[in-house]
């Protein structure tokens, strides 16, 4: 078996930054213990020449149990050890002595571990609570000794059972960080600086994209009775929902958070376009992510150029129904207000009460990338969850945003499907019921 890590070489202003990200997905082999063999034995005592059968039963093999250890926060212990085998039960003995059962083999995993059976793809468990356990392989039953096989016609049986073999499985462990609030944004928006400023976390900080190659947790204490667990989710780029860059490895960590702090880089070329891009990537990866409450913050307000563009950005986001704060993670400006607002949204957002069997992880019933194309007297109508969401999140007054929407059409295969259907220059394309476009080759 092997463990999965990601080694990514990322271009930066200072050359190539090579880093092994933290291990958040591993495959392990587990095997429970075999049951002990039953014994064949007869009483041998003085003056009892024909003692009856007294072979004892074998002991039960050890179970393999995953146990949540709250002190762990990665799957790195599995980097070098990926095979786990529980002990076998002891064999039965004379005088009806039952063999000793083997103890369970406890494998410690961090909170937030989802366990998959590699053979079937089935989710075996979602381990979130400290000391929560999940038995993934049951130990084999001990074999019965010959005492159980005596009959009136056969009072000296030489028959016993061997222990039941243990179970074996290949498991995939997937870690999703558990935090109240996730900090999201484009690379270099200042997420690590914010986390470092409000918690004791010590993330790597440098003035180039993709400094953070692994999610990090921190605890912010607002007062003696109020604390928040925050996760710095590494910067997302366009195409993250398709796994571009480090997309899939990081997007799944956002799924467990209840509230998002969406941090905008005030020095970016177009913070509004960045805002739309991140929301689009979240929604394309999992529609439920788009429903999470967000607190939007424009970072680096301590810089004069950001102060100058702040009124325009504030007005544009308010027009779209978004509450936005201006902060400086580096200078600490309005950071406490941001945390209190995030805590307020957290208090307004009830935790998920869905039972494990119904919702071990977020699931989408149908592939959101699927679409239909219908020819109408007025043109062509394209319907599909992913493309309609992308259209709704596109800034149609921005040429870059429109070009990005065109790339989404190509990525989803809609562009080619329309060509094969016979679309011509000048034809009208309707995206769902709300958007009307003109086709141009």
- Inform me whether the pLDDT recorded for 60 exceeds 90: yes
Q: How confident is the model at residue 20, as a pLDDT? A: 31
295 phi and psi angles, rounded to 5 deg = -115, 115
Q: What is the pLDDT of residues 74-129, one digit of tens each?
A: 787 887 899 999 999 999 999 999 999 999 999 999 888 889 999 888 889 888 88
Q: What is the CATH number of the domain that holds 304?
A: 3.40.50.300
Answer whether residue 322 is part of any domain: yes
Between residues 253 and 152, which one has the greater pLDDT?
A: 152
Tokens of 259: 């509230």
| 4 within a domain of the structure (yes/no) | no
User: Are residue 199 and residue 319 in the same domain, yes or no?
Assistant: yes
Q: CA distances (Å), 190 to each of 153, 156, 275, 281, in order?
A: 84, 81, 14, 19
- pLDDT more than 90, % of the chain: 24
- Cα-Cα-Cα-Cα torsion 349, 214, 271, 385, nearest 10 degrees, comes to -60
Range of the domain at 397: 372-438
Domain count, the chain: 3
Phi–psi pair at 282, nearest 5 degrees: -60, -45
Q: How far apart are CA 248 and CA 241, in angstroms?
A: 6
Question: Which of 300, 293, 314, 279 has the alpha carbon at shortest distance from 392?
Answer: 279
Query: Which pLDDT does position 7 carry in this prediction?
Result: 28
Q: Is the pLDDT of residue 248 over 60?
A: no
Considering the domain boundaries, does residue 294 fall inside one?
yes
Same domain assignment for residues 293 and 343: yes
Is the entire prediction scored with pTM above 0.75? no
Give the Cα separation of 32 and 362 in Å (integer). 30
Average pLDDT of span 25-52 = 86
Strand partners of residue 324: 296
Answer yes or no: do 130 and 254 share one domain.
Answer: no
pLDDT band at 244 (very low <50, low <70, confident <90, very high): very low
Domain termination site, one of 332, 348, 364:
348
187 and 331 co-located in one domain: yes
pLDDT band at 177 (very low <50, low <70, confident <90, very high): low
Give the CA count within 13 Å in the CB-facing half-sphere of 33.
25
190 and 253 housed in the same domain: yes
Q: 3 lies in a domain?
A: no
Task: Check whether residue 294 and residue 334 sit in a common domain.
Answer: yes
Q: Are residues 201 and 342 in the same domain?
A: yes
- When pLDDT is averaged across residues 254-277 and rounded to a whole number, the result is 86
Final residue of a structural domain among 118, 141, 175: 175
């Amino acid at each position: 078996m092997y463990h999965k890590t990601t080694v990514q070489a990322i271009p930066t202003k200072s050359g190539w930054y090579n880093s092994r990200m933290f291990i958040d997905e591993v495959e392990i082999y587990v095997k429970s213990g075999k049951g002990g063999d039953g014994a064949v034995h007869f009483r041998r005592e003085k003056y009892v020449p024909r003692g009856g059968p007294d072979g004892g039963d074998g002991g039960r093999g050890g179970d393999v149990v995953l146990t949540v250890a709250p002190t762990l926060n990665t799957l790195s212990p599995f980097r070098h050890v990926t095979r786990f085998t529980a002990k076998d039960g002891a064999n039965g003995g004379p005088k009806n002595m039952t063999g000793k059962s083997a103890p369970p083999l406890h494998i410690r995993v961090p909170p937030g571990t989802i366990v998959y059976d590699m053979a079937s793809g089935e989710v075996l468990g979602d381990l979130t609570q400290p000391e929560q356990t999940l038995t993934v392989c049951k130990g084999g039953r001990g074999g019965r000794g010959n005492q159980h096989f005596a009959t009136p016609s056969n009072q000296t049986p030489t028959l016993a059972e061997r222990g039941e073999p243990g179970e074996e499985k290949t498991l995939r462990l997937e870690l999703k960080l558990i935090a109240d609030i996730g900090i999201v944004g484009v690379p270099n928006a200042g997420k690590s600086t914010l986390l470092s400023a409000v918690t004791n976390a010590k993330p790597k900080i440098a003035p180039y994209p993709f400094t953070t190659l692994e999610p990090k947790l921190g605890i912010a204490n607002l007062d003696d009775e109020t604390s928040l667990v925050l996760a710095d989710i590494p910067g997302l780029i366009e195409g993250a929902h398709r796994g571009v860059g480090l997309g899939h490895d990081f997007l799944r960590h956002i799924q467990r958070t209840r509230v998002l702090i969406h941090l905008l880089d005030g020095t970016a070329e177009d913070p509004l376009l960045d805002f739309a891009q991140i929301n689009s990537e979240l929604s394309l990866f999992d529609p439920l992510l788009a429903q999470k409450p967000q607190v939007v913050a424009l970072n680096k307000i301590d810089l004069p150029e950001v102060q100058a563009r702040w009124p325009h950005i504030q007005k544009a986001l308010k027009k779209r129904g978004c509450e936005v704060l201006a902060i400086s993670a580096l200078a600490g400006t309005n950071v406490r207000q941001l945390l209190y607002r995030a805590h307020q949204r957290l208090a307004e957002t009830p935790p998920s009460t869905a039972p494990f069997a119904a919702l071990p992880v977020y699931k989408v019933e149908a592939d959101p990338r699927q679409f239909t194309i219908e020819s109408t007297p007025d043109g062509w109508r394209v319907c599909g969850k992913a493309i309609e969401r992308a259209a709704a999140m596109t800034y149609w007054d921005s040429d870059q945003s429109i070009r990005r929407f065109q790339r989404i059409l190509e990525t989803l295969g809609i562009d080619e499907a329309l060509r094969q259907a016979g679309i011509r220059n000048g034809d009208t394309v309707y995206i769902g019921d709300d958007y009307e476009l003109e086709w141009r080759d």
